[in-house]
Chain A
Amino acid sequence: MIRFAAASKSYAVDGALVPALHPVDLTIAAGEVFGIIGHSGAGKSTMLRLINLLERPTGGKVFIDGEDVTDAQGADLRRLRSGIGMIFQHFNLLSSRTVADNVAFPLRLQGGTDDAAIAARVDELLDLVGLAAHARKYPAQLSGGQKQRVGIARALASRPSILLCDEATSALDPQTTASVLELLADINRRLGLTIVLITHEMDVVRRVCDRVAVLDAGHVVEQGTVADVFLHPRHATTRRFVAEADHREGRGAEFPGVSGPLFRLSFRGDATYSPLLSSVVRDTGVEYNLLSGRVDRIKDVPYGQLTLAMHGERLDDALAQIRAAGVDIEEVAR
């Protein structure tokens, strides 16, 4: 478990203190995949680095598994860090070492593991990330996705309980991003380790995260389960991220030539695949126009979001029936 207790960070710039992260109170549960989303400069990188103290908080405290680590130094700090793996946007592999030696690197740094045990662990990790055939290669001979897999294997070498992902897929193409995210989700399920990832893409959050915090100019403006935040974004920044993920620009409620009230229906779980609209139409005789929509998954949960124009004598009955089925309705225009 990771807990930020009013943790904040300011940097001295030309003698003045500039806040990068305003006091944050946040708890990340053990075993969950937690996303921190924000634009560049929002403070997400700083927030991530407060966890393994690559950045020291200038205010507040950071707890890991109930232990106040804010001021950890020397051997304590190194022990803490060996329990936290980290992967990076630009992979940050040692170019002078082979894939196998990169993965073995953290074990050699910590000492106390003999060569045979290290070799066995490296084989196991390379199998896990699907790179067993590339053990003797150098990073420069690998593709971006393969490099990130080496990064993941390296980060897992010392059996950490937390994995920090610093824009881990931002330098990868969409297909490779998908496979790396799948690997992360798989690791989370199989090893039960806590994953904290930062990203500027809502799609990454939607695919792998359980919960998310939205950072804007150093403030956490919204946090909650991904489904809640994704389907009912409250803050303007969150709305923008969701709109980007949906590939819709603007407010998504401008449909010239369409008259009558517009509604946005958000449903998730089993409701997604039930023939709700057709039964509503049959029962109440309303008519609807489907204007835009998306049916997809948030991690493993199916969800849908439809914008439609609806009219008819028994509109209120229709809305009540939809609500009764557990679907959220938001009137976006009248």
Chain B
Amino acid sequence: MSPLRTLFPNIDWPEIAQACVDTLLMLGGSLLFTIVLGLPLGVWLFLTARGQLHAKPKLYGVLSLVVNVLRSVPFIILMILLIPVTQAITGVSIGIRGAIVPLVIGAAPFFARLVETALREVDRGVIEASQAMGATTGQIVTRVLLPESRPGLIAATTVTAVALVGYTAMGGIVGAGGLGALAYQYGYNGYKPDYMLVTVALLVVLVQILQSIGDRLVGRYSRR
């Protein structure tokens, strides 16, 4: 008997491998769409806030409210509430594809808020200087705000990715698959502590890797 078998008698390793792939797919897919939706939303929030380039306090109020509402609904509830939406978009309500819709809707407002905060860190004087050089708002966003706040945006992405790891694990409970599902089904319901241990350990490793990649990139792009 191999030592692995002795230590973890219940574990089906190919299944663990498959769960890792599923978790990574969910994470990658949901992070991609979270950025695609959340980045413009964050820029929009930033621009329409009071005293900013396109200050529209009423629009900002509405956007802000929507973001706050989505952020305050517990993810587990959001997932259940969104089942019809998920079905309409992806044709399925469970599995990896089915999980991505609630993951994105749960994470994009969170990411947008972090983006808004990162953009606020950009020196107002630099924005004014760009205006004085005749920059359009579009140019200010793409050539000043986003590059200048790059370390902050990378940090925001890292935080969001880590939060998404937690969400994917929760997704496991409603049949999304992945490491979270194994931890819940076999580890918790099936009372197999070795399953619990291995899956949680793998999730910890994943979070560590994400955080260290993020930190390294922030360091690389920090010029202050």
| Given contact pairs A94-B126, A94-B147, A96-B147, A78 touches B136 in the complex (Cβ within 8 A) | yes
Contact, CB under 8 Å: B136 / A90: no
Most chain-B CB neighbours within 10 Å: which of A92, A139, A140? A92
B125 at the interface (CB under 8 A from A): yes
Residues on A with beta carbons closer than 8 Å to the beta carbon of B135: 78, 109
Kindly count the residue-residue contacts between A and B in the assembled complex, taking CB atoms under 8 Å apart.
67
| Given contact pairs A92-B123, A94-B144, A109-B143, A78 touches B134 in the complex (Cβ within 8 A) | yes
Dominant secondary structure of chain B at its interface with chain A: helix
Contact, CB under 8 Å: A88 / B136: no
Most chain-A CB neighbours within 10 Å: which of B133, B134, B224? B133
Residues on A with beta carbons closer than 8 Å to the beta carbon of B131: 54, 81
B113 at the interface (CB under 8 A from A): no
Residues on A with beta carbons closer than 8 Å to the beta carbon of B148: 94-96
Chain A's interface size range is 20 to 34
Most chain-B CB neighbours within 10 Å: which of A77, A80, A82, A95? A95
Q: Which residue of A lies closest to B148 (CB)?
A: A96
Q: Which residue of B lies closest to A97 (CB)?
A: B147
Contact, CB under 8 Å: A77 / B134: yes
Q: Nearest 7 pairs between A and B by C-beta? A: A78-B134, A92-B129, A81-B134, A92-B125, A86-B132, A106-B133, A82-B134
Interface residue count for B (Cβ, 8 Å)? 21
Contact, CB under 8 Å: B134 / A79: yes
Residues on A with beta carbons closer than 8 Å to the beta carbon of B224: 95, 140
Most chain-B CB neighbours within 10 Å: which of A80, A109, A138, A158? A109
B residues near A, CB below 8 A? 123, 125-126, 128-136, 139, 143-144, 147-148, 150, 221, 223-224
Residues on B with beta carbons closer than 8 Å to the beta carbon of A27: none
A93 at the interface (CB under 8 A from B): yes
Report the minimum CB–CB distance from A63 to chain B (whole Å): 19
CA distance A164 to B128 in the complex (A): 13
30 A-B pairs, CB-CB below 8 angstroms? A54-B128, A54-B131, A78-B135, A81-B132, A86-B129, A88-B125, A90-B125, A92-B123, A92-B126, A92-B128, A94-B147, A94-B148, A95-B123, A95-B224, A96-B148, A96-B150, A96-B221, A97-B147, A105-B130, A108-B143, A109-B130, A109-B133, A109-B134, A109-B139, A110-B134, A138-B223, A139-B223, A140-B223, A154-B133, A164-B132
Q: Please encode chain A, from 65 to 95, with 1 for each CB lying within 8 Å of some chain B CB and 0 for all others.
A: 0000000000001111110101010101111
Could you say which of A81, A96, A138 contacts B133, with CB atoms under 8 Å apart?
A81
A52 at the interface (CB under 8 A from B): yes
Report the minimum CB–CB distance from A278 to chain B (whole Å): 54
CA distance A277 to B123 in the complex (A): 56
Could you say which of B133, B136, B139, B223 contacts A95, with CB atoms under 8 Å apart?
B223
Q: Please encode chain A, from 124 to 157, with 1 for each CB lying within 8 Å of some chain B CB and 0 for all others.
A: 0000000000000011100000000000001000
